Structure formats: structure tokens, C-alpha cells
């Protein structure tokens, strides 16, 4: 087991290094100059003052150094826990902006991923043995899984938010409120949370239901199911084994789909102006904030890698084939 997880950690470390390097490069490939952009919005009439401020900010953010030195300084600062100062929200540290946005993103991602996976697998398992439910779940599932996250978010914001007026169509909580542990703030938070959550939940739900339905049918038609049936095993026992085996590909699919779900959550946050990491990424792009953009990408990369590693651990615990490979490798 030590060798197995050692290989996994090595692969994840290489992935982290490559992903962070790419995240550092992407903002610097964007056209334009972030310092000039910021000074242009300040509308300075004195050319001398603008030039002096440009030199000051350029030096303060370290953008006057060669790219290779900027890259080395980035890794040194990263290991010290310093993600830099935000150009958009100067002089707020990037880490403070991210820590303020992470709870909102996690509040969307965790419930939508976990509930859609559980409910989708449950519906898919029942659809595989119920004809009327299969005829209902299958077409709805195909429609949902083919729907882009942003399109469904726009549809829900327009229908339930603007037309019906049942839920707020934008924001994380009421504009007149300040974050506090009060019922007024919590109820407003939940009202603004529901539509972004629903859009993520519905799109993911269709894929999990279809996947589980297909896997259950495949397992019920496999040789071991036919053999158990020939031995006179109860139908309930055969379905139990089929469900256990069908769950393994669903766990793999969960690891594969994490990146897609995170990307969908970021787009959904932008549609609803929800103040999570997606909102920060939009502000960073619009204001050419290198440090905020690479900081938010860093947190997303770390989150996805940690989630995949946890799924690898769970997979090793529930799949006996992996444990057999571990034992074989240890001998």
C-alpha cells in the first residue's frame, strides 16, 4: 500500500507542478499591461505623475523583472504562503480575497456534487429494473446531461428568478445585509444559493442516472449474474452484487468529472454574480489581475487534486482488485 500511494503522490506532485506553471504563464500571455490599465481608469491628467506611478507599481508588483526571475520569485513566495497583492482590489492580499470566496464556492460544489451523485445513482439503479421509470428517467437524463451549465443557469435565473420572482436572480445575499450569524442573513444566503445549486445539481444528476442505469443492466446480464441465477440465488442478492460492481465505474467517473463540475460551477457563479471563485476569476480577467487569477487557479488545482486523491483512497478500499494488486506488488 505504501508503494501504491507513493506512486500516486508522485504523479499528483508532477501534475501540481505542471498545472501551477501553466497557471502562472496564462495571465502573462494575456494582451495588455495591467498597470497601465489601472492607471488609465484613474484618469490622471499629469503625465509625469502617471509615469512615476507606473514605475512604482511595476516595481512593487515585480513586473519589471525578467520572466524567469518572476517565475522563481513566484515559487519562493508560494512556499511562504504569499500569493501577492491584488491589482484589482489594491492593496488587499490575494489570499484574503480567495479565503472570502472559497466558502461560497464550496457551499455550491459540495452539496451539488454529493447529492447529484447519490440521487443520480439511486434513480439509475431503480430505472434499470423498472420499465416505466426507465422510460421517464432515460430521456430526461439525456436532456439534462447534454445541457450546458451556463445555459441552464440562465434559464433558471430568467424563469424562476425574473419571471416568477420566486428566488433572487443575482448576488450571494441581500445588498442591504452584512455577513452575520443571524436568521435574516442565513435565510437570504439560502435564497440566493438555491438557483446556482439547482443548475449544477440538475446537469450532473442526468449523467449519473444514465451511467448507473447502463452499468446495472450490464452487470445483470454478465456471466456471474446468470450463474447465480442458475444456482437459484435470490434476485435481491444478484441485484446487490450488481449494484456494488456498478458503483466502481461511478467512483471513477466522479474523479474524471470533478474538473468539469468545477468549471461549470465557475460559469454558474458568473451568471448569478455569486461571489465565489468564479466571480473572482471574472474580475481578475476584466482587470488583468495576474496575481488574483493565478491565485484562484491555484486553489482550484489544489482542490481538484485533493478530491481525486481522496477518491483514489476510497477506490482502493472498495475495489478488491486494487488491494490484490497492492499485495502482489508487495511480494
Taking the domains of the chain in order of start, what are their residue ranges? 2-79, 94-326
pLDDT above 70 (res 320):
no
Angle between helices 2-28 and 290-318 (to 10 degrees): 160
Mean pLDDT of the chain: 81
| 283/40: higher pLDDT | 283
At 331 the pLDDT is: 46
Grid cell at residue 81: 504562503
Q: How far apart are CA 62 and CA 310, in angstroms?
A: 37
Residues linked to residue 104 through DSSP beta bridges, in sequence order? none
- The per-residue pLDDT for range 281-311, each reduced to its tens digit, is 888 888 888 888 888 888 888 888 888 888 7
Grid cell at residue 170: 443575482
pLDDT above 50 (res 330):
no
Q: Report the percent of the chain where pLDDT is more than 70.
A: 92
CATH superfamily of 94-326: MetI-like (1.10.3720.10)
- The per-residue pLDDT for range 66-92, each reduced to its tens digit, is 888 888 888 888 888 888 888 888 788
Rounded to 5°, the CA angle 156-187-116 comes to 50
Other C-beta atoms within 10 Å of 150: how many? 15
What percent of the chain is helix, strand and coil (3-state, nearest 5)? Answer: 80, 0, 20
In this prediction, residue 46 has a pLDDT band, given cuts at 50, 70 and 90, of low
Rounded to 5°, the CA angle 63-66-72 comes to 90
At 279 the pLDDT is: 84
Amino acid at each position: 500500500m505504501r508503494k501504491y500511494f507513493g506512486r500516486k503522490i508522485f504523479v499528483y506532485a508532477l501534475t501540481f507542478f505542471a498545472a501551477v506553471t501553466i497557471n502562472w504563464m496564462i495571465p502573462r500571455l494575456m494582451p495588455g499591461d495591467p498597470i497601465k490599465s489601472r492607471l488609465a481608469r484613474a484618469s490622471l491628467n499629469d503625465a509625469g505623475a502617471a509615469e512615476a506611478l507606473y514605475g512604482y507599481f511595476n516595481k512593487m508588483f515585480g513586473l519589471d523583472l525578467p520572466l524567469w526571475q518572476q517565475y522563481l520569485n513566484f515559487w519562493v513566495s508560494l512556499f511562504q504562503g504569499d500569493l501577492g497583492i491584488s491589482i484589482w482590489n489594491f492593496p488587499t492580499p490575494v489570499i484574503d480575497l480567495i479565503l472570502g470566496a472559497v466558502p461560497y464556492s464550496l457551499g455550491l460544489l459540495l452539496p451539488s456534487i454529493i447529492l447529484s451523485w447519490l440521487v443520480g445513482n439511486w434513480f439509475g439503479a431503480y430505472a434499470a429494473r423498472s420499465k416505466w421509470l426507465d422510460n421517464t428517467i432515460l430521456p430526461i437524463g439525456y436532456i439534462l446531461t447534454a445541457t450546458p451549465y451556463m445555459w441552464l443557469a440562465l434559464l433558471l435565473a430568467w424563469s424562476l428568478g425574473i419571471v416568477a420572482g420566486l428566488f433572487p436572480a443575482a448576488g450571494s445575499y441581500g445588498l442591504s445585509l452584512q455577513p452575520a450569524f443571524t436568521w435574516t442573513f442565513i435565510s437570504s444566503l439560502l435564497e440566493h444559493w438555491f438557483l446556482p445549486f439547482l443548475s449544477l445539481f440538475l446537469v450532473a444528476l442526468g449523467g449519473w442516472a444514465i451511467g448507473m442505469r447502463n452499468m446495472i443492466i450490464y452487470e445483470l446480464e454478465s456471466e456471474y449474474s446468470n450463474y447465480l441465477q442458475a444456482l437459484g440465488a435470490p434476485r435481491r442478492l444478484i441485484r446487490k452484487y450488481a449494484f456494488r460492481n456498478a458503483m466502481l465505474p461511478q467512483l471513477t467517473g466522479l474523479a474524471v468529472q470533478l474538473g468539469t463540475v468545477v468549471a461549470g460551477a465557475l460559469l454558474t457563479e458568473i451568471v448569478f454574480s455569486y461571489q465565489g471563485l468564479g466571480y473572482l476569476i471574472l474580475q481578475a480577467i476584466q482587470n488583468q489581475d495576474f496575481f488574483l487569477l493565478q491565485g484562484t487557479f491555484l486553489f482550484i488545482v489544489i482542490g481538484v487534486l485533493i478530491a481525486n486523491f481522496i477518491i483514489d483512497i476510497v477506490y482502493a478500499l472498495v475495489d478488491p482488485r486494487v488491494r490484490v494488486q497492492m499485495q502482489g506488488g508487495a511480494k
